Amino acid sequence: MAKVIKTKVTEKLGIEYPIIQGCMQSISRAPLVAAVSEAGGLGIISSSTFSNADDLRHEIQLVKEKTSKPFGVNLTLMPALVVPDYEGYIRVCKEEGVKVMETAGRPPKDDMVDAIKSAGMTLIHKCTTVKHALKAQKIGADMVVADGCECAGHPGENDITTMALTPACVEALDIPVITAGGVATGRQMAAALMLGGEAVYVGTRFLLSEESPVLPEIKKYLAENATEMDTMILMRSFTNSTRVYKNNVAKKVYAMEQEHCTFDDIKDDVAGKTASHMFFVTGDVENEGLICVGESAGVIHDVLPVKQIIDDMMAECVATLSKFDA
In a domain, residue 173? The reply is yes
pLDDT of 274 strictly over 80: yes
| Same domain for 109 and 21 | yes
CA dihedral 211, 213, 216, 221 (to 10 degrees): -100
CB 5 within 8 A of CB 18: yes
CA pair distance 145, 323, nearest whole angstrom: 27
In a domain, residue 93? The reply is yes
Residue 27: give its domain's CATH number.
3.20.20.70
pLDDT of 2 strictly over 80: no
In a domain, residue 3? The reply is no
* Average pLDDT over all residues of the chain: 95
Q: pLDDT tens across 41-71, in order?
A: 999 999 999 999 999 999 999 999 999 999 9
List, in order, residues 6 or more apart from 26 with CB less than 8 Å away: 46, 49, 213, 272, 275, 276, 279, 280
The pLDDT of 167-190, averaged and rounded, is 98
| Same domain for 179 and 68 | yes
pLDDT of 88 strictly over 70: yes
| Same domain for 220 and 98 | no
The pLDDT of 98-107, averaged and rounded, is 95
| Same domain for 173 and 50 | yes
CA pair distance 268, 275, nearest whole angstrom: 10
Q: What is the CA radius of gyration of the chain?
A: 18
In a domain, residue 1? The reply is no
| Same domain for 142 and 97 | yes
Domain that holds residue 317: 8-211+305-322
| Same domain for 14 and 50 | yes
The pLDDT of 100-128, averaged and rounded, is 96
List, in order, residues 6 or more apart from 174 with CB less than 8 Å away: 137
pLDDT, residue 233, reads: 97
pLDDT, residue 83, reads: 75
Q: Which of 49, 66, 41 is nearest to 201 (CA)?
A: 41
| Same domain for 141 and 48 | yes
In a domain, residue 166? The reply is yes
Q: How many domains does the chain have?
A: 2
Burial bucket for residue 1 (CB in 10 Å: 0-12, 13-18, 19+): exposed
Query: b/e per residue, 45-59, with b = 16+ CB within 10 A?
Result: bbbbbbeebeebbeb
In a domain, residue 151? The reply is yes
pLDDT of 270 strictly over 90: yes
In a domain, residue 120? The reply is yes
In a domain, residue 243? The reply is yes
| Type of residue at 213 | P
pLDDT, residue 8, reads: 97
The pLDDT of 3-27, averaged and rounded, is 95
The pLDDT of 210-222, averaged and rounded, is 97
| Same domain for 137 and 84 | yes
| Same domain for 235 and 125 | no
| Same domain for 288 and 261 | yes
| Same domain for 146 and 31 | yes
Q: Which of 50, 59, 65 is nearest to 30 (CA)?
A: 59
Pairing of strands 122-127, 19-21: unpaired
pLDDT, residue 42, reads: 98
| Same domain for 106 and 60 | yes
Q: pLDDT tens across 122-145, in order?
A: 999 999 999 999 999 999 999 999
